[in-house]
Amino acid sequence: MRLAEKVALITGGSRGIGRAVALAFAREGARIAILGVSDEEALARVAQEIAAIGRSVLTLRADVRQRTEVDTAVRRVLDRWGRVDILVNNAGVLHPCRLEEISEAQWQDTLAVHLTGTFHCTQAVVPSMKTQGSGKIINVAAPSALRGSFGVADYAAAKGGIIAFTRNAASELKPYNIQVNCISPVAETRMTQALFAFRRQHLGEPLATFGHAKLVEPDAVAPVFVFFACADSDYVTGQVLAVDGGLTA
């Protein structure tokens, strides 16, 4: 198993890609901390699935927009297992909206969840990763950060910021054997369903249209997260890998 006894903290881990990644890491032997902000039932369900695999699991409620809550969550992981080997910054929101209709509040909230949340969680785990002399940080971008897309200007801006943050963090943390990479995935989730509905309403696109990319279940993108979390990627840092069925090809 490629992640035997590693400790992984996954934000937005209660459903979609986060859930798939948590289960994939557990199957590879990792101990899992899943963080969510609102849906306790969903967190509990994923925890049961992880426990059924035979792995240790810790559920955490925290809002990644709030630094004090993030710090408390990370301390709980450190108190439980003494280390954080892998951080997956997956928490996100999506509110499809025409550019001219994005409110100031929506703009600020989208950036806070995605970009500031990624910053908060990364900064919170770096001291312990430096102390242990290793770490893997995996951020999550989106195709809209790399190509134009209708109805997601705030989301795309936040994801573009995550890409820039990834490259700068990777450069700064190289001396400490901490690899920071970014995955830009597309999968069938509540977010893509909301985007499809919006695009169908405003552009007349059929439900399953996402460029010419074939949508897959979240489980199909999880192996790429495993690669960036395990020793196979020790010589890879500061990179952005699109896992999108060729959407950005």
| CA–CA distance, 155 with 26 (Å, rounded to integer) | 30
- Residue count of the chain, please give it: 249
Average pLDDT per 10 consecutive residues for the chain, totaling 249 residues? 97 95 98 92 95 97 97 98 98 93 97 98 98 98 89 95 98 98 90 73 63 79 98 98 90
Q: What are the φ and ψ backbone dihedral angles of 51, each rounded to 5 degrees?
A: -60, -35
Q: Is residue 194 part of a domain?
A: no
CA-based end-to-end distance of the chain: 32
∠ CA 176-181-187, nearest 5°, is 155
97 within some domain: yes
- Domain assignment present for residue 124? The answer is yes
CATH number at residue 165: 3.40.50.720
Report the number of distinct structural domains present in the chain: 1
- Is 52 part of a structural domain of the chain? yes
Q: Quick check: is 62 in a domain?
A: yes
176 within some domain = yes
Strands (E), the chain: 7-11, 31-36, 57-61, 86-89, 135-140, 178-185, 240-243
With helix as H, strand as E and coil as C, how does 128-153 read? HHHHHCCEEEEEECCHHHCCCCCCCH
Q: Which domain holds residue 165?
A: 7-186+218-243
| Predicted model pTM | 0.94
Our answer to whether residue 176 is catalytic in this structure is no
Q: What is the pLDDT of residue 192?
A: 74
Instruction: Please report the pLDDT score of residue 177 as a whole number.
Output: 98
2: in domain: no
Among 18, 36, 97, 155, which one carries the catalytic annotation? 155
* Per-residue confidence (pLDDT) for residue 11, from 0 to 100: 98
In the block, tokens 């993108």 appear at: 221
C-alpha to C-alpha distances, 67 to 61, 120, 145, 157, 200, nearest whole angstrom: 13, 6, 25, 21, 37
**Does a structural domain hold residue 235?**
yes
